Amino acid sequence: MACTDSDYAYLREVVLKQSANLIDPSRNSLFDAKLTPIAHKAGATNLQDFVRLLQTERRTHLHRAVAEAMTINETSFFRDVKTFNLLRETILPELVERRRASRRLRIWSAASSTGQEAYSIAMLLLEHLPETAYWDIKIIGTDISRRVVEYAQQGRYRRLEVNRGLPARMLLKYMTRDEEEWEISSRLRAMCEFQQLNLCAPLPSLPEFDLVLLRNVLLYFSQEDRSHVFAAMHRLTAADGYLLLGNAEQAEDSTNLFEAEFAAESFFYRPLRDSVQRKSDY
């Protein structure tokens, strides 16, 4: 039995409440593809029965499962060449110079999906700024989906995944093959950690970050939620730190807390505020 328009509207509302992601009605067919397996596991014979289950029994874990299934988890190693050129040529060298005394860096991959972005940054540091191999570096990847966080923590990728954006030389240098999968080296793993986090909910204790990457996620947030997220990013970004968004995203429409700058053919953002030191256990 097919879902009605009101059924799809209810599912869109579940996703919005759980993850702040706005699902356009034109994408209703994605619910059929992504939620049917979850519906069957929950004991529903079809998606419409699953909607009734969600409406009547209010099982919290099922509502979360709906939101996670509909979260866009598209990613790859070194996704977007211009962004990683900007990191390599401008942002990371400047940060290393400024943090030379403390020899400490904190980087946040704020919508990390299955972890490729965080591991790519770790490779970039070791490849092009080798002195940081002896620094206190922590790259924290967060995502709303528990499933993709667990995948990132495992640090094991299929052949198709490593073939997307990862140069063969770096593959052999930073990963080891285990049958049909490739495993991240212990050196990179020590630099990265992953945790589940909803950007639109109250955030847990986090350190002050030198660099925040919030790429390709704001497109799915409402204007109100974007403003909320930018306020959190501003609070957690060092006064001389950096914020990177996706190529199709900009901060100007949602906040006045950051100013845009341009280098290496790409835009990035700086927080507008006086330098404030924050204590952290990270």
DSSP SS3 for 96 = helix
In this structure, the dihedral spanned by the alpha carbons of residues 6, 8, 9 and 13, taken in order and rounded to 10 degrees, is 140
Q: What is the pLDDT of residues 5-41, one digit of tens each?
A: 998 999 889 888 887 778 888 888 888 888 888 888 7
Contact (CB, 8 A) for 252 and 218 = no
- Residues found in the chain: 282
Closest CA to 237 of 106, 89, 96, 65: 106
Domain 81-271 matching CATH 3.40.50.150: the answer reads: yes
Helix (H) / strand (E) containing 222: none
Percent above pLDDT 70 for the chain = 94
What average pLDDT does the segment 44-67 reach? 83
pLDDT grade for 162, boundaries at 50, 70 and 90: very high
Quote the pLDDT of residue 89. Answer: 96
Q: Where are the domains of the chain?
A: 5-70, 81-271
d(CA 39, CA 54): 10
The token pair at 276 is 């404030």
Neighbour count for residue 224 (Cβ, 10 Å): 11
Closest CA to 107 of 78, 142, 74: 142
Residue 195 confidence (pLDDT) above 50 = yes
Please tell me what DSSP assigns to residue 89: I
Contact (CB, 8 A) for 134 and 191 = no
Q: Name the CATH topology of 5-70.
A: Chemotaxis Receptor Methyltransferase Cher; domain 1 (1.10.155)
The dihedral through the CA atoms of 166, 171, 174, 175 has a sign that is positive
Most confidently predicted of 23-27, 94-98, 247-251: 94-98
d(CA 111, CA 115): 9
Q: Which of 93-97, 262-266, 273-277 has the lowest mean pLDDT?
A: 273-277
Report the chain's mean pLDDT, rounded to a whole number: 90
Quote the pLDDT of residue 256. Answer: 94
Residue 272 confidence (pLDDT) above 90 = yes
